[in-house]
Amino acid sequence: MRKRLTPRFNRRTAQPLALASAAAVVLAACSGGGGNDSGSGDNDGKNGPAAIVVKPGSGTGKVPVNRKVTVRAQGGSLSSVEVGSPGPGKLSGTWSEDKSVWTSSTPLAPGATYTVKARGTASGGSALDKTTSFTTEAARNAFVGTYFPDKGTKVGVAMPVSITFNKPIRDKAAVERKLKVTASPAVEGSWSWMKDRDGKDRVDYRPETYWKTGTEVTLRMDLAGVNAGGGVYGTQQRVVNFRIGDAVTSTVDARKKTMTVARNGKTLRTLKISAGKKGFETWNGTMVVLGKVPTLRMNSDTVGIFGPEAYDLGEVKWDVQLTPSGTYAHAAPWNEGKFGVVNGSHGCIGMSTSDAKWFYDQVHLGDPVTVVNSVDTVAANNGYGDWNVDWDTWKEGSALR
């Protein structure tokens, strides 16, 4: 049962490497309280042991974001410096005239772990090599994303990758750039931004057509230290793997009052159903199974239906949820005699108790249920109505287009 809503499209520290020549003596050099900041190289006899010194370095605790990173070749020169973090990326920097010092020019991001890799040459000719890391202080104002599906799950062919954020995302491109989905076998896909039903920023990823059965999908979120705009920074580093199961597809024909269920292209059964009556028509278009429960109390108050059409059905059996606005496929024994004959529900897909139990056992999270010959196409943000958006329009929803 659901309230009629207007559809809207808005849903670790490496130890220093000792790479000195046979004639060289490797000595430790401290860096600003970081006992692990040792380098390697020659003793030039003038300035002490040759080494690369990094500040801040490992063991310095949480680093304020207003600090600069300095990399110094003591008793030699630098050939390369790379400082970066998976989320905010690499830091830019400037060189001293003699290339003995590199100083960062890009601000540090909060809540991020940076790795410093530097190479150089001691004045005596031996190699200098240094790797260290440090972590910055956490952001005072952070955002996180709630993502679906969960790690290690098996889902249906229509399940998108979906992330809803707890704070407004003003720089969507910066965030999207640090989100990556890969699949095996490979498939073209795209992110698309929308407003979730509660007004939060949400971004979903899907292929042009349904995933293939057996596809292995990986979501990578490198958001730690990413600036989403307005002084809001990310904190998450996640790798989420999931798998695509059988292609269980269901087609509801509201005119014929039937639902045909197929697995991997083979029809299993055609069930007699009763869809939404006039004024409460079942959403047209493709909805995606959000979850299922064996028993659920259905009361029209929860979906804003009052007056003559109000109802309290008590405990309803074999409930498969299709939208957060209240669309379910479930047992409807009170409508016995209407199945296959007349549409008599308030928007749900009702059927006999035995048929509802059978359907409940067939479908799982991410399976598509497509309604034809009804009215008002389900919105992209009403659950996972993503598939009702044509591919070109979907791709235009990416912040990187």
| Average confidence (pLDDT) over 29-55 | 53
348 is catalytic: yes
Instruction: Please report where in the chains the tokens 């062919």 appear, as a residue.
Output: 157
DSSP 122-167: ETTS-EEEEEEEEEBPPPSSEE-EEEESPTT-EE-TT--EEEEESS
Q: CB atoms < 10 A from the CB of 201, how many?
A: 22
pLDDT of residue 312: 59
Predicted pLDDT of residue 282 = 96
Asked whether residue 52 is domain-assigned, the answer is: no
Q: What is the pLDDT of residues 269-280, one digit of tens each?
A: 999 999 999 988
- Residue 11 in contact with residue 202, Cβ under 8 Å? yes
Query: Looking at the domain assignment, is residue 93 inside a domain?
Result: no
Tell me the CA distances in angstroms from 153 to 219, 319, 337, 364, one per residue in order: 13, 21, 39, 11
What was the pLDDT predicted at 49? 84
pLDDT of residue 20: 32
Query: Which pLDDT value is given to residue 316?
Result: 92
Note whether 157 and 181 are within 8 A (CB): no
Computed over every residue of the chain, the mean pLDDT equals 87
Candidates 30, 346, 348, 364; catalytic one: 348
The residue range of the domain holding 292 is 248-379
CB 162 within 8 A of CB 156: no
Confidence grade of residue 309 (pLDDT, cut at 50, 70, 90): low
Nearest to 120 by CA among 96, 152, 92: 96
pLDDT 10s digits, 197-214: 999 999 999 999 999 999
**Same structural domain for residues 255 and 239?**
no
Predicted confidence at residue 197, as pLDDT, reads 94
- Per residue in 376-387, pLDDT tens? 999 999 999 999
Same domain, 168 and 238: yes
pLDDT, tens digit, 9 for 90 and up, residues 285-305: 999 999 999 998 666 556 665
My answer on whether 229 and 276 are in the same domain is no
pLDDT band at 58 (very low <50, low <70, confident <90, very high): confident
Rounded to whole angstroms, the Cα distance separating 164 from 255 reads 36
Q: For every residue of 208-257, which 3-state class applies, written as one string?
A: CCCCCCCCEEEEEEECCCCECCCCCEECCEEEEEEEECCCEEEEEECCCC
- Domain presence at residue 4: no
Residue 9 has pLDDT above 50, yes or no: no
pLDDT at position 296: 87
Q: How far is CA 161 from CA 114, 149, 250, 397, in A?
A: 28, 6, 21, 15
What CATH number does residue 197 fall under?
A: 2.60.40.3710
Q: Do 217 and 289 share a domain, yes or no?
A: no
What CATH number is given to the structural domain containing 259?
Answer: 2.40.440.10
Nearest to 236 by CA among 220, 215, 217: 220
Is the same domain home to 312 and 329?
yes
CA separation for the pair 89, 112 (Å, rounded): 10
Ordered DSSP codes for 175-202? HHTTEEEEEES---EEEEEEE-TTS-EE
30, 330, 346, 364: which is the annotated catalytic residue?
330
Is residue 75 scored above 60 in pLDDT? yes
Structure tokens at 115: 């790795």
Question: Tokens 């991410």 belong to which residue?
Answer: 366
- What is the helix (H) or strand (E) element at residue 353, kind and residue range? helix 353-362
If you average pLDDT over residues 117-129, what whole number do you get?
Answer: 94
The pLDDT tens digits of the residues spanning 230-259 come to 889 999 999 999 999 999 999 999 999 999
pLDDT category at 306 given cuts 50, 70, 90 is: low
Q: Are residues 272 and 318 in the same domain?
A: yes
Do 214 and 289 reside in the same domain of the chain?
no
The answer to whether residues 370 and 259 belong to one domain is: yes
Residue 77: beta bridge partners?
Answer: 121
306 within a domain of the structure (yes/no): yes
Give me the number of domains the chain comprises: 2
- Tens digit of pLDDT for each residue in 315-352? 899 999 999 999 999 999 999 999 999 999 989 999 99
pLDDT over 70 at 148, yes or no = yes
Amino acid letter, residue 125? G
**Cβ distance 31 to 51 under 8 Å?**
no
Give the 3-state secondary structure of 380-393.
Answer: CCCCCHHHHCCHHH
Compute CA distances 114 → 61, 225, 400, whole Å: 13, 10, 25
Tokens 């199961």: give the residue. Answer: 245
